[in-house]
Amino acid sequence: MRHFKLTIAYDGADFHGWQIQASDKPTIQGEIVSVLRRVTQENVLLHGTGRTDAGVHALGQVASFRTQSALSAGEFQRALNALLPPTIRIVASEEVGPDFHARWSALGKTYRYRLYRGKVVPPPLWRYVLHYPFPLDEEAMRTAASRYVGPHDFAAFAASTGSEDDDKERSTVREIYASELARSEDGEELVFTVRGRSFLRYMVRKMVGTLLEVGRGKLAPDDILRLYEQRDRSKSGPTVPPHGLCMVEVFHDEAWRL
């Protein structure tokens, strides 16, 4: 068997998330698997680093698969890009060692959320930004963003599993390596960038919603520390819409390279 790593970019607006679903709803993983099985004539399994939700975009999602096909990494990239919809692109394809796994070999991920601050959103941007033209205390938001750095219990920033027992059993401690809020170069956007080992479902979107509550004056920056202790989802900010979120990059140990 041979092993391959794909780096994938996609516009998530027309898809029901990354993961294949039991229904016929289109997903990123489903589209890629369909083409891989067509190209290899094998029942290929594709593993992604993270399961982005419906409407979330990616510039650097990573996936891995194994095959007996004789195709080279470059040939896989060309075949996939020829047959996939233009909203999904394979930006890199590499043959890797057998120990590489897109999810289990990942050391960290970077996400970005974009808030458009201008009065009118340009039509090419509306699928990728949350429009928020109202007053915000951006300095307080930047201070609050720094409170996310470090290992913390992010229970207040996570979606429920749907089961009270499962919610009690799972670990909600995550480590954030970097967290920053900054204006874009053109000054029209407020961009939240966060890097961590792993993330809970809806966690980044709840983090952004909480920063907005700080910007509105409904929470203070140091209330972030209180939220860790309370572990209560109802006390943090709302879950902002998915379309402003993008998985920017995934980091892996270099040991997997052939």
What pLDDT is stored for residue 101 in this prediction? 92
pLDDT band of 169, cuts 50, 70, 90? low
Per-residue pLDDT reduced to its tens digit, 9-35: 999 999 999 999 888 899 999 999 999
Residues in Cβ contact with 242 at an 8 Å cutoff, skipping those fewer than 6 apart: 12, 53, 54, 55, 56, 205
Cα–Cα distance measured from residue 246 to residue 182, given in angstroms and rounded to the nearest whole number: 16
Q: What is the pLDDT of residue 3?
A: 96
Taking only the tens place, the pLDDT of each residue in 197-220 is 999 999 999 999 999 999 999 999
CB 8 within 8 A of CB 32: yes
Burial of 168 (0-12, 13-18, 19+ CB in 10 A): exposed
pLDDT band at 257 (very low <50, low <70, confident <90, very high): low
What is the pLDDT, as a whole number, of residue 170? Answer: 77
pLDDT of residue 160: 74
pLDDT of residue 156: 96
Q: Is the pLDDT of residue 253 over 90?
A: no
The predicted pLDDT at position 164 comes to 56
Q: For residues 33 and 105, give the distance between their C-alpha atoms in angstroms, rounded to a whole number.
A: 21
Question: Within a 10 A sphere around the Cβ of 204, how many other Cβ atoms?
Answer: 27
Give the per-residue pLDDT at 254: 64
Pairing mode of beta strands 130-131, 106-116: parallel
User: Is a pLDDT exceeding 60 seen at residue 49?
Assistant: yes
What are the catalytic residues?
53
User: What percent of the chain is predicted at pLDDT more than 90?
Assistant: 90
Contacts of 22 by beta carbon, 8 Å cutoff, 6+ apart: none
pLDDT of residue 166: 52
pTM comes to 0.93
pLDDT in tens, 75-117: 999 999 999 999 999 999 999 999 999 999 999 999 999 999 9
Count of CA atoms in the C-beta half-sphere (13 A) of 146: 9
**Rounded Cα gap, residues 132 and 7, in angstroms:** 31
HSE, side-chain direction, 13 A CA sphere, residue 244: 25
Residues present in the chain in total: 258
Q: Kindly report, residue by residue over 117-163, the tens digit of the pLDDT.
A: 999 999 999 999 999 999 999 999 999 999 999 999 999 999 875 54
Q: Hey, is 150 helix, strand or coil?
A: strand
- DSSP assignment of 10-73 equals E-GGGSS-SS--SSS---HHHHHHHHHHHHHSS----EES--PPTT-EEEEEEEEEEE-----H
